[in-house]
Every structure is written in C-alpha cells, then in structure tokens.
Amino acid sequence: MKPVNDGPPRGARPVGVTNVRAQAPPTHSALVSPPAASLHGVSRTYPVGGTTFAALTDISLDIAPGEFTVIVGESGSGKSTLLGLLAGIDRPSSGRVTVGGVALDTLSEGALSRWRGRALGLVFQFFQLLPTLTSAENVMLPMDFCGTWPARERRTRALALLDQLGVADQADKLPSRLSGGQQQRVAVARALANDPALLLADEPTGNLDSRTSHTLLDLLSTLAHSGRTIVMVTHDRRAMTAASRSIALEDGRIISDTRPAHA
C-alpha cells in the first residue's frame, strides 16, 4: 500500500522555490494550524463473555493546539480509554487516532514507544514516580530514554523544570520523602522533560487535597496559556473552570462538548 504523504519519488525533479512562489497564495484553510490531536470514528470494544462491550463508540474529535480540554463523566464512561488511545497505549477497534500529524496506527509498537517519549507528557493519579530514583533522576529519565538533550545538560534541565514547578528544593530526595502534592509536581516536571506538545493527565488531582489541587490546576492553566495542549480527565469541578473546553462522556459517547471560556 502506498502511504498518503510520501512526497515526490526519489529522483523526481525538485520543485524550485520560485516555482512555489509562482503558485497562488495558500487559502485561509491552509493557514489554520492542524489539530494537535484528532479521533475520527473511533470505537473501542472488548470481548466480554460471548459478546462485545463497547467502552467507546464512534468518537470524532479535533483538539486544537493550545487547547486545555477536560474530559468528564461518570466512572466507567470511557475517559481513561480515550486518554489511552490518544497516548497510543491502546489501539482503537475501529477508526483513526492522529496526534501531532502522526496517524498512530501507522507506527509499530517500537516506533510508538519512541514517539510517545518525545511527543507526549503523561501524568497519572498515583504519580508513578520510580521509588528508587530521586526527584531529579525521575525527571531526567525521559531525557535519558529519548536522548533528547545531551547527557551533560539533563540534570540542569531537570533542576530548571523542578524549579518552574516550585519543588527545586526536593530535587535530591526520594519520592517517599515527598508529600502527594510535591510528588505530583515532580511528575508534571517529568512529563515536561522532553518538551512535549501534548500533555495527557488522568485524574491528576485525584489524590491531592483541595489546596494542592488548586495549585496544580493553576500550573496546568499556565502551561496551556504558554501554548501547550492539555487533555485532562477529571472529577474536579474547579478543573472545568480552569479549562477552555469540556467534553462529557456517557456510556462511551460524547454527550456534550463546550468551550465555556469562549461562550
């Protein structure tokens, strides 16, 4: 099969710059930036007993760059499934998931994992820091894995991120010595280590007290305002006001999709 965007064949006459300039200017639609992420006709089913259970049904969705989207819905409505598909941790039963212009179904498992390391930041409810590594080492891990920064710059970058999140003084402590709020800030610093365009968070305030949640939501808003795309699953009502878009799921379907800030 021939991929869609494979460019001109090798040996084809190169298109000169003047040639391109001679063409008509791009239309308005060509200037609109492509979505940061999109799902097209996505369903995810699981075999259960002799039948199939639909965790998500026919989801189509475009997420714009810099959008701060919250996904809300009752337990079991498909929120984590949706996030897993965007992260390429799970694959849809049908439909297509595209993130940053990459159609995830075209990647092998190995390519997917390398892509994830560079393009995505993931934040979970239970922080999931490695217990035997210090905060700084946890933040350096994605850089080590992807080789995105020269080895000698990684600790400096980790310390700068921890500082940005207000936990620079915790850099050389093990996670077990940190409060939940501090661990989650370290986890956000780790998620930002490779400067991903897209940050995915699954109930990141689920284990934080209300004051600490508030601080984390402020941090996420600030990140979104500086152009980072964020998709966050949450039960937290205040998160819905911090976000620019709110998508509600029920039984694996989108029942509402609103942008309160732009109403």
Query: Tokens standing for 86?
Result: 């965007």
Asked if residue 80 binds Mg ion (CB under 5 A), the reply is yes
Nearest distance from residue 87's CB to ligand ADP, in Å? 12
Are 129 and 161 within 8 A, CB to CB?
A: no
The footprint of ligand ADP (CB under 6 A) covers: 46, 48, 53, 55, 73, 75-81
Q: Single out the segment in contact with Mg ion by CB under 5 A; choices: 17-25, 41-49, 80-88, 126-134.
A: 80-88
**Choosing among ligand ADP, Mg ion, none, which partner's interface includes residue 73 (Cβ < 5 to 8 Å by kind)?**
ligand ADP
Residue type, 260: P
DSSP state letters, 93-160: SEEEEEETTEEGGGS-HHHHHHHHHHHEEEE-TT----TTS-HHHHHHHHHHHHT-S-HHHHHHHHHH
55 interface partner picked from Mg ion, ligand ADP, none, CB below 5 to 8 A per type: ligand ADP
Residue 46 binds what, of Mg ion, ligand ADP, none (CB under 5 to 8 Å, by partner type)? ligand ADP
**What minimum distance in Å lies between the beta carbon of 204 and Mg ion?**
12
DSSP structure class, residue 197: S
What letter would DSSP give residue 176? Answer: G
Minimum gap (Å) between residue 230 Cβ and ligand ADP: 17
Site residues, Mg ion (CB under 5 A)? 79-80
